[in-house]
A and B are shown apart, each in its own frame.
Chain A
Amino acid sequence: MNMLQLDADVIERLNAKAQWVWEETLRIHRRSQETRVASSLSTIEIFVTLYYGGFMRFDPDNPIWEGRDRCIISKGHGSLCMYPILADLGYFPKQELERVCQAGSFLGGIPDPVIPGYETVNGSLGHGAGVGAAMALGLKCKGKDRMVYVVTGDGELHEGSNWEAFMFAAQHRLDKLVVLVDNNHISMLGPTDEIVSHRNLVRKFDAFGWSAREVVDGHSVVAIANALLDCQRDTSGKPKAIIVNTRKGNGVPGLENAPLSHVAAIKPDLIDQLLGERR
């Protein structure tokens, strides 16, 4: 695997990509106001680090290339930011970004595997961990040294099926499985701690037989990259969890960390203002 060297150039490049993806995500949302933008702003640095940081092997010309690392985007609604990433990487033309949620487009409000680069159906929550764990098991049985990343949300972890999968992954010592929890602390109706608190997710994963670590600032590509590198160096044989503490609606005044931000839209004028664009 092409290991990331965290020198200044790489960091600058990742930060520039993260900024560009943030802007593109807002532009998509400006055109398609029904998209769930707040959840997609918390995951940007996770996806940017995975896809631009050398942690993923992939082939945009052959999205289900056998030699790829798998990325299961379990919190599908929070991956609008993947559209510019996939377009930028060459999975589909960038012009398609203009047509998100429009009739005839394959880029919907919630992504499905009709989109090149998406592995699974992601609209319903709580599925990615189990499917991803089995893919890791399947790869292990085939003797394929490939990673399986699963990106999930903290609200999504209320689904009990996740915990069935976490026990399963630990039992089978699926050490190539890495679950990244976009821990933005807010579910649809408010803070997860006030709904059903996860309390300490690192300790929970640890108790379930995983090797877990926390990223305090989930909008730092360096911190995420270091956590991923830590997973690569981890020889415990356990599946890995990274609790990435993020801010829902990151960078948007009024939206960021707002308890009811989940389905809130950003007014076009505010987007223009944030992007410094005149229309």
Chain B
Amino acid sequence: MSAVATVQPRAMRDTLLLSLYEAMLLDRNIFLVTADFGSPVMDNIRADIPDRVINVGIAEQNLINVSAGLALEGFKVFAYAIAPFITMRCFEQIRVNLALLSELRPMNVNLIGVGAGYSYVVSGPTHQCYEDLTVMRALPNMRIYSPADQMMAAALPARCLASNGPKYLRLDAQVLPVLYADALPNFADGFHEHRKGKTVCLLATGYMVHTALKAADALAATGFSVGIIDLFDLCGFSEEQLQSVLCAYRGVVTMEEGFRGRGGMDAMMFDYIVRRGLDIRMLNIGVEGEYRFELGERHVLHEHVGIGVGSVTEKVRGFLKSLPV
């Protein structure tokens, strides 16, 4: 699927909040709760629907508890904060009052975390987020959506409003190229196959889908054709459908903007492959596990930690050569 120039590139949070704004105008049961985190679109929502936009202040624990309390009273809630803070500052509140309580009481709470991976480039490791997939996927009942572009982000509110349960929406903070200008992927599948290839498939999420596309181009220039899958519903994808796609390959490369080998998407795919008995080799690409403090452009930082286009291309090339003929 190719980008279309008529779609104005915007940040994911803006397209998502715009969709949410429209939904809030129609449905008085929707609340937007923020931990003193905003955006220009948020300013409009605050101005037009002040009674259903709640700023709890810089208080993420209370952000979650307030969201849970409103949800128990039947409201549909979107909680909004910077990704590492909305997932890890208040993890126990999420565990107790969302993951655990939703087992017993119906609730619709959607955590919007802005700043996946390195997207807050100059803010350093406190604001960057490489652990959220690990901690959030540890929770039963928690659904994780990790969109790769603004169109997917814009589609999430309707999707979230249609189904109960707690969800984590992992948004990039930067403006990324548009991938789904013509049509959205099938949400029921939970993934989208961008390209078919031979031998190896790159299975990426969020920003790393863009890296996968570039790496695939680089590999194609040297005669390697690899497939590309955007996995955006990390806990609810169709296992059967994904298997039907992966069965065409001998190897799969997981690509995440999170720590490698610490329970993120790589562990999830390992579990999936073992559980389903798939005959496929796997390479995991993720941030090599240490906190770093260098400043630089995102693609440069990515090369430092082994997830840049160059690093990925080399690792995939080596993986291809390692596969049995």
- Which positions in A face B, CB cutoff 8 Å? 64, 112-114, 119-121, 123-124, 126-127, 129-139, 141-142, 160-161, 164-165, 167-168
| A contact residues around B70 at 8 Å (CB) | 134-135, 137-138
- Which positions in B face A, CB cutoff 8 Å? 51-52, 54, 56-57, 59, 61-62, 64-70, 72-75, 92-93, 96-97, 100-101, 104-105
Apart from the given pairs A121-B96, A134-B66, A165-B66, 5 other A-B contacts in the complex at a CB distance below 8 Å: A120-B97, A121-B100, A134-B73, A138-B70, A165-B62
Interface hub of A113, A114, A129, A168 (most chain B Cβ within 10 A): A168
**In the bound complex, do residue A142 and residue B61 qualify as a contact, i.e. CB atoms below 8 Å apart?**
no
Cα separation A160 to B288 with both chains bound (whole Å): 34
User: Of A127, A141, A167, which is within 8 A of B96 by CB?
Assistant: A127
**In the bound complex, do residue A135 and residue B69 qualify as a contact, i.e. CB atoms below 8 Å apart?**
yes
Residue in chain A with minimal CB distance to B75: A138
Shortest Cβ distance from B103 into chain A, in angstroms?
A: 9
**In the bound complex, do residue B65 and residue A165 qualify as a contact, i.e. CB atoms below 8 Å apart?**
yes
A-B contact pairs, 26 of them (CB 8 A): A112-B104, A120-B97, A121-B96, A123-B96, A127-B65, A130-B61, A130-B62, A131-B68, A131-B72, A132-B69, A133-B65, A134-B67, A134-B68, A135-B69, A136-B69, A137-B54, A137-B66, A137-B69, A138-B69, A138-B73, A138-B74, A141-B75, A161-B65, A161-B93, A164-B62, A167-B59
**In the bound complex, do residue A119 and residue B72 qualify as a contact, i.e. CB atoms below 8 Å apart?**
yes
Cα separation A164 to B64 with both chains bound (whole Å): 11
**In the bound complex, do residue B93 and residue A133 qualify as a contact, i.e. CB atoms below 8 Å apart?**
no
**In the bound complex, do residue B59 and residue A168 qualify as a contact, i.e. CB atoms below 8 Å apart?**
yes
Cα separation A264 to B100 with both chains bound (whole Å): 29
**In the bound complex, do residue A133 and residue B97 qualify as a contact, i.e. CB atoms below 8 Å apart?**
no
**In the bound complex, do residue B66 and residue A130 qualify as a contact, i.e. CB atoms below 8 Å apart?**
yes
| B contact residues around A137 at 8 Å (CB) | 54, 66, 69-70
Cα separation A113 to B52 with both chains bound (whole Å): 28
Residue in chain A with minimal CB distance to B92: A124
| B contact residues around A121 at 8 Å (CB) | 96-97, 100-101, 104
| A contact residues around B67 at 8 Å (CB) | 134
Q: Which 7 A-B pairs have the closest CB atoms?
A: A134-B69, A130-B65, A138-B73, A164-B62, A134-B66, A164-B59, A161-B61
User: Of A134, A139, A142, which is within 8 A of B65 by CB?
Assistant: A134
Dominant SS at the B interface? helix
Dominant SS at the A interface? helix
Shortest Cβ distance from A115 into chain B, in angstroms?
A: 10
Cα separation A64 to B107 with both chains bound (whole Å): 14
Cα separation A102 to B68 with both chains bound (whole Å): 30
| B contact residues around A133 at 8 Å (CB) | 65-66, 69
| A contact residues around B96 at 8 Å (CB) | 121, 123-124, 127
Shortest Cβ distance from A65 into chain B, in angstroms?
A: 13
Residue in chain A with minimal CB distance to B95: A124
User: Of A64, A114, A131, A168, which is within 8 A of B56 by CB?
Assistant: A168
Shortest Cβ distance from B62 into chain A, in angstroms?
A: 4
**In the bound complex, do residue A167 and residue B57 qualify as a contact, i.e. CB atoms below 8 Å apart?**
yes
| B contact residues around A141 at 8 Å (CB) | 51-52, 75
| B contact residues around A126 at 8 Å (CB) | 61
Shortest Cβ distance from B270 into chain A, in angstroms?
A: 31
Residue in chain A with minimal CB distance to B105: A113
| A contact residues around B52 at 8 Å (CB) | 141
**In the bound complex, do residue B73 and residue A127 qualify as a contact, i.e. CB atoms below 8 Å apart?**
no
| A contact residues around B73 at 8 Å (CB) | 134-135, 138-139, 142
Residue in chain B with minimal CB distance to A120: B101
Residue in chain B with minimal CB distance to A159: B61
| A contact residues around B62 at 8 Å (CB) | 130, 161, 164-165, 168
| B contact residues around A113 at 8 Å (CB) | 101, 104-105
| A contact residues around B92 at 8 Å (CB) | 124
| B contact residues around A165 at 8 Å (CB) | 62, 65-66
A164 with B61, Cβ < 8 A, contacts A113-B104, A114-B104 known: yes
| A contact residues around B66 at 8 Å (CB) | 130-131, 133-134, 137, 165, 168
Cα separation A164 to B57 with both chains bound (whole Å): 9
Cα separation A164 to B96 with both chains bound (whole Å): 17
| A contact residues around B64 at 8 Å (CB) | 130
Residue in chain B with minimal CB distance to A124: B96
| B contact residues around A112 at 8 Å (CB) | 104
Residue in chain A with minimal CB distance to B62: A164
Interface hub of A126, A160, A164 (most chain B Cβ within 10 A): A164
| B contact residues around A120 at 8 Å (CB) | 72, 97, 101
Shortest Cβ distance from A111 into chain B, in angstroms?
A: 12
| B contact residues around A124 at 8 Å (CB) | 92, 96
Residue in chain B with minimal CB distance to A66: B74
Interface hub of B56, B65, B72, B105 (most chain A Cβ within 10 A): B65
Residue in chain B with minimal CB distance to A131: B69
Cα separation A145 to B114 with both chains bound (whole Å): 37
Residue in chain A with minimal CB distance to B104: A113
Interface hub of A114, A139, A141 (most chain B Cβ within 10 A): A141
